[in-house]
Structure 1
Amino acid sequence: MGKNKLARFAENKILPNVYQPTREEALEGSELKGKWHSEVFKNENPIVLELGCGKGEYTVGLAKAFPQKNFIGIDIKGARFWFGAKEAVENNLKNAAFLRTQIELVDYFFAENEVDEIWITFPDPQIKYRRTKHRLTHPDFLARYQRILKPGGIIHLKTDSEFLHGYTLGYLQGAGHEIITAHHDIYGALEYEPGTPLLREVRTYYEELFSAKGKTITYIKFRLK
């Protein structure tokens, strides 16, 4: 492990906006479950999650643009989201936090109806059939999200994977969920959902890489029924 990564891990332990419970602590019952408003953000503003947040570009970008909302980046790779956590502290963003855990444990950290909105940004599409259950839009994951989302809560999927885009659209349509909008190429489209914040303006590290390779960026905005 490189010295830079070790240094980031060490700094994450003291950053005030980083939470790193163990898997055992999560399974036993997170102390933060149901208390993110009161214990972390000290307000009742809406909570928005970024799942698989990477370096936290969306968490930080949205937190800057929407101070009236609270944003939490979630990823198991703390050395990556250190970048976003550090930027949030340096910019005094009190509405941005980071949680180091596996996505499959998300409903162990948030109570029913505690979350208003979810962003899934450039997840691994898990193309191989045996990896189906690991897709972040697999029905098992969607059920987890539905347990913590408020009724009518919105989910965003932004990906370079036409496969994952198509898989997700197909499942949503077949299961009767509400597809608010869907685009196969958000940068090539003349128009996109005007109510979607910073869909083009904030680009993740991976988005920049994929775009440089000529890959189209797709997007789905939906509600679970």
Structure 2
Amino acid sequence: MARSKLAKFAAIGERENVIEPGDELYGQLKGKWREVHFQNDNPIVLEVGCGRGEYTVGMAQLFPEKNFIGSDIKGERLWKGSTMAEEKELVNVAFLRTFIEQIDENFAENEVDEIWITFPDPRPRDRDIKRRLTSPRFLNLYKSILKPDGLIHLKTDNLPLYEYTLEVLQEKKRDIERLLHTPDLYKSDLQEHTMGIYTTYEKRYLAEGLPIKYLQLQFK
């Protein structure tokens, strides 16, 4: 492992805004994020597969009255996000290092107010369908930790993933209260829902002329 990676892993191990396996609080915050970590009663917004944490940090800057948690398994990515949060002196941001499959082991029923999925790996191979972050098993996981009126947002440049997600939701339509979607976010009237935040990947896709797909979901 490169020396720089080792240094980053060591750094996040010392940071109060990163919770990872081996920490005293890892696995102990389920149902207690507000009380123990944030020490307030503010709503919780979770970004799954947060990567470098650009969306998590961007939202935290815009909404200091909410708590934001970015979740990813890659320590080097979380180092970037947690560094940005420290530099901006944001106290309403935390990062959780865990597999998305274990997200319900870290959050209680009805604990999360909103979930964001920003530019996930589209997993194009058929054998990887179950690993897509909008597959039925993951949607069921999200629903299990969301408040009844909670929202799920998806941003992606990948048309097959977008279309796959709509197909999955069509099969679950009886469970859906509201669904908004567009194949071209920046030519739609749904831009306000994404708050003008752009990730590094999004900027690259837009520069290449790729339309950004957006979807907003609310379960019954």
Q: Secondary structure at the match of 2:114?
A: strand
Q: What is the deviation of 1:179?
A: 4.1
Percent identity over paired residues: 51
Residues 82-139 of structure 1: per-residue CA shift (max 9 Å, x gap): 1111111122211000000111100000000000000001111111111110011111
10-19 or 211-220, larger mean C-alpha shift: 211-220
2:156 alignment partner in structure 1:
159
Contact 1:20 1:100 in 2 (8 A): yes
Structure 1 unaligned residues grouped into runs of 5+: none
**Which of these residues, 196, 211, 214, is aligned with residue 209 of structure 2?**
214
Rate the CA distance shift 1:127–1:120 in 2: closer, same or farther, 3 A.
Answer: same
2:33 alignment partner in structure 1:
36
Q: What is the deviation of 1:193?
A: 5.2
Structure 2 unaligned residues grouped into runs of 5+: none
1:203 alignment partner in structure 2:
198
2:93 alignment partner in structure 1:
96
Q: Does 1:145 align with 2:142?
A: yes
Residues 174-225 of structure 1: per-residue CA shift (max 9 Å, x gap): 21124431111112x152253x141xx2111221222232221100000123
Q: What is the deviation of 1:78?
A: 1.3
Counterparts of 1:197 and 1:38, CA distance in 2: 28
Q: Secondary structure at the match of 1:72?
A: strand
Letter in 2 for 1:104: E
Contact 1:173 1:179 in 2 (8 A): no
Q: What is the deviation of 1:10?
A: 1.0
**Which of these residues, 111, 114, 123, is aligned with residue 117 of structure 1?**
114
Letter in 2 for 1:224: F
Contact 1:60 1:96 in 2 (8 A): yes
Residues 145-171 of structure 1: per-residue CA shift (max 9 Å, x gap): 111000011000000110111111121
Rate the CA distance shift 1:92–1:168 in 2: closer, same or farther, 3 A.
Answer: same
Counterparts of 2:132 and 2:103, CA distance in 1: 14
Q: How many residues align?
A: 216
Letter in 2 for 1:12: I
1:16 alignment partner in structure 2:
16
1:84 alignment partner in structure 2:
81
Counterparts of 1:7 and 1:208, CA distance in 2: 29
1:181 alignment partner in structure 2:
180
Q: TM-score, normalised by structure 1?
A: 0.91
Contact 1:182 1:220 in 2 (8 A): yes
Q: TM-score, normalised by structure 2?
A: 0.93
Letter in 1 for 2:181: A
User: What's the Cα RMSD here?
Assistant: 1.5
Counterparts of 1:175 and 1:38, CA distance in 2: 34
